[in-house]
Chains A and B, each alone.
Chain A
Amino acid sequence: MTAGAAAPRAVAVARAVALVALALALGVSPAHAADPAADFRAAARLYADGDLAAAQAAYEAVAAADPTGPWADDALSEAAGIAEKRGELLAARALWRRLVDEHPTSRQVRRARARLGVIEAAIGPDGRWLDVARRHDALLAEAVRQSDPSPQAIALAQLIAEHPDYPRAHDARMWIADAWLRVGEIDRAIAGYAAAVPLAPDALARWRAGKAHGDALALAGRFDDAERVYRGLYGQSDALADRAVDRALDDLATLRLRQRLVYLAWALIAAALVTFVGWARRSCGTWRAAARALTRPPLEVIYFAPVALLLVATSLTGNRLVERAVETILLGGLVAAWGAGAGLEAARRHGRLTLAAAASHVAAAGAIVLAVVYLALLDDRLIDMIKETLTHGHD
């Protein structure tokens, strides 16, 4: 027992000496050798510069130089965290364990215990899954900020296929299905979730995978399949999970209704268009004449087109000032059109519609619109913004 205990201690001392030497070689100044705070900050600089290996070594050196000092627990924690980031899971496990054993009252202990749990769950108590876990984490890290994580999803699927008993295989399967969903490969995502359900390690994981499967089916518009999957989730977890299923089924009912209304909307549009064509055919007598009539813009379109264009242009600006101005102009235009139109209708009914009267109505309506446009442009100095945009371009 004694010899067995002494040997690891000797190894630890030798390791500490080597680490101090390494840290010195990495640029932790000898002048600061007795200043753990300065050494700690030097390690932090290495980390911030992205030199993770050097930072880990430097933190370990701080802990080794003064194992009972006030910086030792933080240094071990930082070193362990970096080791995890680097995929050095055995080193990370050893560092977190040291932290728990040597600094049991440190504020870092709770994190150390939590991370030990994560690492041991990933690599297994005997470390047999270390290599798989490392490759798994490396693929996830590679996929960060990739708009298309398909290569990593394929590689991870291969890895899991080779190691179906890997403790994090379920997490990996779910990540792969999520990745397919992110890139729009919804059928692959659905297949992925479906495959993950029976292989889930526990009831909660199975429920989550099932819920994700149902969600993906709903997203794909396969409502009947989604409903079947959702209903199968009842009773698999707790009452709150059942309530989540209730909500999913409610959402599904809404999606179904919306889908039906979409069909109805398109049917109405198609029917109306067919009706228009039919009317034209009946009025004109021949299909050729009807086609000519339908391609000639009617008076309504000539009036409506500029308004529609204005509304489209407004929607493109996304600017609240412009929106407000358009509202004002359209309201002013409505008032002008009403006044001028009602007057013209009355003149026509009483047989007093002359060209001069029509022209004066148009001029009056035009004047009102111009005035309203000017007032709208002055509102909150919109006119200056437009001038600036025209002069200097969009910001």
Chain B
Amino acid sequence: MRAPSFFRGPGVSTLSLLLLAAACGGDDGVDDAPDARVVVVADGGRLELPGCGYDLVTRAGAEAPAAGVDALGADPAPRQIHLGYGDAPPATSIAIVWRTDEDTTATTVRWGVAGGPLDQETDGLTYRYYSGLAGTGDLIRLHEVHLCGLQPDTAYDYQVGGVGVDGTEAFSTTATFRTAPALAASPDAEVTIGYVGDGRGGYDVWTEIASRMQTFAPDLLVYTGDVVTIGQSQDEWDEFFAGAPELLRQVPVVLAHGNHEVNAIHYYAQFAMPSDEENFAFDFGPLHQVILNDSPVDSATMAGSTRDFLDDDLAAAVTADAPWKVVTHHRSLYSSSTNHGSDTTLRALWAPVYDEHGVDLVVSGHDHIFERTYPIRGEVIGTEPADGTIYIVSGGAGADLYGIEPQEFSAFSESTHSFTVMEMRRGMLSSASYRADGSPLDSFTITKPAP
């Protein structure tokens, strides 16, 4: 069901990037500091994550991960702390990522069961990438720690940071995450999933949506792509993190790659996601969530390896009796927007697979609207959830809105900034969508007979 190894990118061609940091050497012989010539090889690489048994792999454009070393720079305070997943199940693991100044290499998480002492420490890996295009701009220092072997459905407190060579500590304040429930042990557990996308360029709306979303306390955030307008614009990524600091350090986020991310290293470096971080799937309680990249570097893969992955994964999910199967990718197979509208090419490729394996929902973005279709199978529009897959366009996290001309497949649509919260447990899925101001927009419930 899941990809066999943690893999953060193909072994693409070597790209050695040099940063020449000119030394401020004096010519009077007093300042005799040697020329500081910093060479950063940004070919990517891999290294095993402590305690998890799989590798963290960085792509070309970022340097190879290295074990954290006790050293603090001038500004070691952890920031942009956010959660994700590696290649271990969400019921027993978490990935924690944060950023510091470039010189800080200490990479440690202190953690413990919520309410108790932070009596565990796990070290992680660190790496850098360039904030600009192809080796230009500042070097961004990231730290990544994966905690594996956790108890399912358990809250943990944690702090991130590290210790300097002189024993100075620089840790964050304490935050809390909770592992996903394990379906085997808790077959009726309920999870709350937030879906949102296309915040690019709409920092003010994204901050409002993030704060509204927190009032529903989602267990997982699924982003439908286009976080930023230009994938290599670090300023925009910083806005994304700045807009939702509390949400992102409590709630793991997985993303579908949007066309505006342009497969930039910024996207792949800053988030911890399973498998190749493009096409992957995982179980989160009663949810089997599939994420697909519909704007890959090689578009031929959409009809090839991506479709094969989707087919194989969903077939396995059916066998595993995953109660709710949700697929998320960026472009919408069905959309009433007057801007992009339905992507019929993608529909021809992937909708038959959704139909074959009984996917319950497909949540996408790309069009900056909210829309929910009637259930659809084989392009035939039904009325009952059992008649097919419901397609949701959730592309209203802040980008300028698009117009709508409702099509016959549309059960509800509105050109508005919005987010969606779904509560899922065996037998019932309740979805509620809200405008950015928190007012109700749309809701529906699907039931399935419990096995």
Interfacial residues, chain A to chain B (CB-CB below 8 A): 37, 40-41, 44-45, 47-48, 71, 74, 77, 81, 105, 107-108, 110-111, 113-115, 117-118, 140-141, 143-145, 171, 174-175, 178, 182, 207-208, 211, 238, 240-241, 243-244, 247
Q: Are the C-beta atoms of A111 and B440 separated by less than 8 Å?
A: no
> Least Cβ distance of A121 to chain B in Å?
9
Q: Give the residue name and chain of the B residue nearest to A73 (CB).
A: B190
Q: Measured between C-beta atoms, what is the minimum distance from A43 to chain B in Å? A: 10
Q: Is the CB of A45 within 8 A of B447?
A: yes
Give Cα distance in the complex from A140 to B438, angstroms.
Answer: 10
Tell me if A74 and B188 are in contact (CB < 8 A).
yes
Question: Chain B residues near A45 (CB, 8 Å)?
Answer: 447
27 contacts between A and B (CB under 8 A): A41-B450, A44-B427, A44-B447, A48-B428, A48-B445, A74-B189, A74-B425, A81-B423, A105-B155, A107-B155, A107-B190, A110-B178, A110-B250, A111-B217, A114-B215, A114-B217, A115-B216, A115-B217, A140-B440, A144-B441, A174-B437, A175-B437, A178-B437, A207-B204, A208-B204, A240-B242, A241-B203
Interface size range of chain B in the complex: 35 or more
Cα(A144)–Cα(B217), bound, Å: 23
In the bound complex, residues from chain B placing their C-beta under 8 Å from that of A115 are 215-217
Question: How many contacts A-B (CB < 8 Å)?
Answer: 85
Which B residues are within 8 Å of any A CB, using their own CB?
A: 153, 155, 176, 178, 181, 188-190, 192, 201, 203-204, 208, 214-217, 219, 235, 238-239, 242-243, 250, 412, 414, 416, 423, 425, 427-428, 430, 435, 437-443, 445, 447, 450
Q: Which residues of A contact B192 (CB under 8 A)?
A: 111
In whole Å, how far is A52's beta carbon from the nearest beta carbon of chain B?
11
Contact yes or no, A144 B153, CB < 8 A: no
Q: A208-B208, A244-B204, A247-B201 are in contact. Are A175 and B217 (CB under 8 A)?
A: no
**Nearest-CB residue, chain B, relative to A168:** B438
CB contact between B214 and one of A47, A114, A244 (< 8 Å): that residue: A114
- Once the chains are docked, how many angstroms separate the CA of A41 from the CA of B449? 10
Task: Contacts A48-B447, A145-B442, A244-B204 given; indicate if A107 touches B178 (C-beta within 8 A).
Answer: yes
Do B442 and A144 have beta carbons less than 8 Å apart?
yes
Specify the chain A residue showing the minimal Cβ separation from B192. Answer: A111
Q: Which of B239, B437, B439, B450 has the most chain A CB within a 10 Å cutoff?
A: B439
In the complex formed, the residue of A with least CB distance to B178 is A107
**Residues of B with C-beta under 8 A to A140:** 439-440
Task: Tell me which residues across on chain A come within 8 A of B176, comparing CB atoms.
Answer: 110
CA distance A48 to B450 in the complex (A): 14
B215 near A107: Cβ-Cβ < 8 Å:
no
**Measured CA separation A182–B416 after assembly (Å):** 9
Distance from A233 Cβ to chain B, minimum over Cβ atoms (Å): 10
A81 to B445, CA, bound (A): 14
| Residues of B contacting A145 in the complex (Cβ-Cβ under 8 angstroms) | 412, 442
Measured between alpha carbons, how far is A41 from B188 in the docked complex, in Å?
A: 10
5 interchain residue pairs of minimum CB distance: A111-B217, A110-B217, A114-B217, A48-B447, A244-B203
Within the assembled complex, what's the spacing in Å between the Cα atoms of A114 and B216? 7
- The residue in chain B whose Cβ has the minimal distance to the Cβ of A113 is B217
Nearest neighbor of B218 in chain A, beta-carbon distance: A111
Q: What residues of chain A lie closer than 8 Å to B155, measured between beta carbons? A: 105, 107, 110
Kindly list chain A residues whose C-beta atoms are within 8 Å of the C-beta of B201. 247
- Picked from B181, B416, B438, the residue with its CB within 8 Å of the CB of A107 is B181
B376 to chain A, nearest CB (A): 14
Query: Known contacts being A105-B155, A114-B215, is A243 close to B203, with CB within 8 Å?
Result: yes
- Given A47-B428, A114-B217, A145-B442, residue A107 in contact with residue B204 (CB < 8 A): no
- What residues of A have a CB within 8 angstroms of the CB of B217 in the complex? 110-111, 113-115
Which of B412, B430, B437 counts the most A-chain CB atoms under 10 A from its CB? B437
- In the complex, chain A residues whose CB is within 8 Å of the CB of B423: 81
Q: Is the CB of A175 within 8 A of B208?
A: no
Chain B nearest Cβ from A171, distance in angstroms: 6
Query: Across the interface, which residues of A come within 8 angstroms of B435, CB to CB?
Result: 178
Residue of A nearest to B251 (CB): A110
- Give CA–CA (A48, B448) in the complex, Å: 10
Residues of B within 8 A of A247 (CB): 201
Beta-carbon contact of B215 and A117 below 8 Å: yes
CB distance from B412 to the nearest CB of A (A): 6
Contact, CB under 8 Å: B181 / A47: no
CB distance from A218 to the nearest CB of B (A): 11
Q: Which residue of A lies closest to B341 (CB)?
A: A318
Docked complex Cα distance between A174 and B417 (Å)? 14
